[in-house]
Amino acid sequence: MTKISSIIPTLNEEIHIEAAIKSVDFADEIIVIDSHSTDKTIELAEKHNVKIIKRKFDDFSSQKNFAITQAKNPWIYILDADERVTPDVKKEILEAVQNPKEFVGFYVRRSFFFAGKRIKYSGWQRDKVVRLFLKDKCKYQGIVHETIKTDGELGFFKGKIDHFGYKNYNHFISKIHQYGELKAKELHARGKKVNLFHIIIKPTYRIFSHFILKRGFLDGYTGLILSITQGYAVLTRYIKLWILNRGLKED
């Protein structure tokens, strides 16, 4: 029988880690790769039958690729700590590894929750990620919002997993700054410059895109808040790039 290793990257995920581990109880091996959490993440994870690896975080792709090399099984299921595998998707996973057909990996769609509410629009209605794949056929690339490079075709699961992306609004903002800093460093390394288009037009268009084009207005006030915050995320990225380009420090 083909076996699965599930990998859960963590950094201060004490409110999620146990539910995340239970969510992938179908896996033959569970690896928690931790970026030196300072809360109870490791203490809670140690209550379960998991392999814990501590590694300094450099970027998302490197962290996941390293964990993949430590996995002992051919199939990998990546689970962000704030995701939960639903029973329907669990069934599809187990069926896929036994009969993958021509596929080397599979997309799964996600239902996004924010402030206790399921977000049906606002840009998340088509949210999908590659989560199950053969480790010798796939590799992560990219610093922020990493993607999978595959040697073969990808299939789709019908079911959706649940995605509880942010603990609260403060966590949402902290993630924006984390992603913004990584993206700014990537753009800085490529020699990108900042102008008024990046500071005014791009953030404004991002708000318009999420609220109008991606129908965030159908999510009500929550959709408006999320759309404005997406614009803020773009602004943050380019402010951080502007700072890097001038050799300044943020603090």
pLDDT, one tens digit per residue, over 171-211 is 788 889 988 998 999 899 999 999 999 999 999 999 999 99
In this structure, are 94 and 18 located in the same domain? yes
CA–centroid distance for 39 within its chain: 20
> Which of 57-61, 75-79, 143-147 has the weakest average pLDDT?
143-147
Q: Following CA atoms 196, 202, 207, 213 in sequence, which dihedral angle do they give, to the nearest 10 degrees?
A: 140
Q: What mean pLDDT comes out for the span 206-218? A: 96
Contact 67, 33 (CB under 8 A): yes
The pLDDT score that the predictor gives to residue 251 is 63
Whether residue 1 has pLDDT greater than 70:
no
Q: Which of 19-33, 61-75, 138-152, 222-236 has the lowest mean pLDDT?
A: 138-152
- Reply yes or no on whether the pLDDT at 144 is more than 80: no
**73 touches 28 (CB < 8 A):** yes
Distance of alpha carbon 75 from alpha carbon 131, whole angstroms: 10
Higher pLDDT, 146 or 85: 85
- Summarised one tens digit per residue, pLDDT across range 3-53 is 999 999 999 999 999 999 999 999 999 999 999 999 999 999 999 999 999
CA atoms within 13 A on the CB side of 68: 23
116 and 196 belong to one structural domain: no
Which DSSP symbol is given to 35?
S
Residue 222: beta bridge partners?
none
Q: How many domains does the chain have?
A: 2
* Domain end call among 163, 178, 210: 163
Residue 208 is part of which domain span?
A: 169-245
Neighbouring-strand partners of residue 7 = 31, 78
Q: How confident is the model at residue 231 (pLDDT cuts 50, 70, 90)?
A: very high
Both 207 and 98 in one domain: the answer is no
pLDDT at residue 237 above 90?
yes
Domain co-membership, 133 together with 24: yes
Show the tokens assigned to 65.
């690729």
Question: Considering only CA atoms, which of 60, 70, 61, 10 is closest in space to residue 35?
Answer: 10
**What's residue 71's pLDDT?**
97
Q: Residue 8: beta bridge partners?
A: 32
**Can you give the pLDDT at residue 87?**
96
- What's the pLDDT score for residue 119? 92
State whether 238 and 144 are in the same domain: no
Mean pLDDT (whole number) for 227-250: 92
Q: pLDDT tens for residues 86-136?
A: 999 999 999 999 999 999 999 999 999 987 789 999 998 889 999 999 999
Query: Can you tell me the mean pLDDT for 146-158?
Result: 92
Of the three residues 163, 178, 196, the one that is the final residue of a domain is 163
Residue 250 belongs to some domain of the structure: no
Closest alpha carbon to 192 in 132, 145, 240 = 240
pLDDT of 232 > 70? The answer is yes
pLDDT band at 143 (very low <50, low <70, confident <90, very high): confident
**Buried residues in 192-228 as b, exposed as e (16+ CB within 10 A):** eebeeebeeeebeebbeebbeebebeebeebbbbbbb
Cα–Cα distance, 93 to 128 (Å, whole number): 15
Cβ(67)–Cβ(31) under 8 Å? yes
Of 163, 197, 221, the residue that ends a domain is 163
In a domain, 251, yes or no: no
